[in-house]
Amino acid sequence: MMQLIEVLQSEGWDITYASAASKSSFAVDLEDTGIESAQIKLNDPSFDEFIKELTPDLVVFDRFMTEEQFGWRVAENCPEALRILDTEDLHCLRGARHQAFKENRDFQESDLFNDLAKREIASILRCDLSLIISSFEMKLLKDVFRVDESLLLYLPFLLKSISKNDVNNWESCDNRDHFISIGNFLHEPNWNAVLYLKKVIWPMIRKQLPEAELHIYGAYPSQKVEQLHNTKEGFLVKGRAEDAREVVGKARVLLAPIRFGAGLKGKLIEAMQCGTPSLTTTIGAEVMHGDLPWPGFITDDPDDFAERAVKIYTKKKLWDKAQKAGIPIINQLYDKEVFKELLIEKVEEIRENLNQHRQQNFIGEILKHHTAASTKYMSKWIEAKNDHNTP
């Protein structure tokens, strides 16, 4: 989201960031970046007055649940505003893979056709444009769900190129110690990966490297997470990292045995940006590196995962080669300038032909008329209930 904001700011857009979430001390200080911020309420008519007064030209929804809640209000009060859905990743894909994993079977295409998909695809169709972070998800939306390509834009992470100066500032293999795992514990794939490390993979690594430690970082560690901490085993739960780049940049190897999920994995991108080799799974590395070599190893077998982790940790030449492999991936596949231009061109193209664009997406107009009505009247019922309960 911050990358999108930076792109729009660079094009001279005035930005208001509106959120119904409670404020956090860890949030980005938007005022320092010249962004107006506003607190909005769920199921509350005050949003209608807010959006009418603001009269935005462009509205970006952060994930489909936000579009469900506020999309109909934007459409009613600011019908000429271009509506963009930032999917982040496809929740229906992640959910389907998780369900298959829980049932101990392979994921099948038929798993996708669930209630979550109905909600998410409806949200995509109601919007003028949806930003899709993964080329795998682009193909899935077009080939499986038959979403018209005019409604989609492939937009991965928008990253600055890794420069020679960046590389020179990376710590060498000899100046780094230990393994690292990092990720928000509220995100189920991250929590599952940590459990998998604890119970299966780390004991095999530790057996060969008895002095090595695995540092587990992540926001919102619950009691069940903290109970995994064991100094004797070298399995150290560190909690939230004050500076993720710093801790990743000091580790020798990042471990991410992700067994279900979707989208692009920020932790693996961050490892490349810090010159930290990584080990992950097929799901973890999905469409992240194109045809370029992975900066480490990709394997789904736990024994092989542990063996390769030890190998890259102890063999300097292999480690150095893996460190350098992340540079072309970042510089060729995530070039901010290239995708910035594509985004701006697409936005301007739709803005100039908005009525025609919406006419060509008549199914979306139907869904907006019917599907949003259920969301709308449920919200109005909650409004009335809240108003009735007000002293």
Predicted pLDDT of residue 369: 66
Q: Which contiguous run of DSSP H or E holds residue 351? A: helix 336-352
Given this chain, do its domains 2-159+336-384 and 164-333 carry the same CATH topology?
Answer: yes
Q: What does the alpha-carbon distance between residue 127 and residue 230 come to, in Å, rounded to a whole number?
A: 48
Q: What are phi and psi of 266, to 5 degrees?
A: -60, -35
Helix boundaries (H) for 154-240: 164-169, 188-196, 202-208, 223-226
pLDDT by position in tens, the chain (length 391): 999 999 999 999 999 999 998 877 777 788 888 899 999 999 899 999 999 999 999 999 999 999 999 999 999 999 999 999 999 999 999 999 999 999 999 999 999 999 999 999 999 999 999 999 999 999 999 999 999 999 999 999 999 999 999 999 999 999 999 999 999 999 999 999 999 999 999 999 999 999 999 999 999 888 999 999 999 999 999 999 999 999 999 999 999 999 999 999 999 999 999 999 999 999 999 999 999 999 999 999 999 999 999 999 999 999 999 999 999 999 999 999 999 999 999 999 999 999 999 999 988 888 876 655 666 767 777 777 777 666 5
Q: What are phi and psi of 64, to 5 degrees?
A: -70, -25
Q: What does the alpha-carbon distance between residue 262 and residue 380 come to, in Å, rounded to a whole number?
A: 33
- Give domain 164-333's CATH number out of 3.30.70.100, 3.90.550.10, 3.40.50.2000, 3.90.226.10: 3.40.50.2000
| Domain residue extents for the chain | 2-159+336-384, 164-333
Q: What does the alpha-carbon distance between residue 87 and residue 66 come to, in Å, rounded to a whole number?
A: 10
Predicted pLDDT of residue 371: 59
The architecture that CATH gives domain 2-159+336-384 is: 3-Layer(aba) Sandwich (3.40)
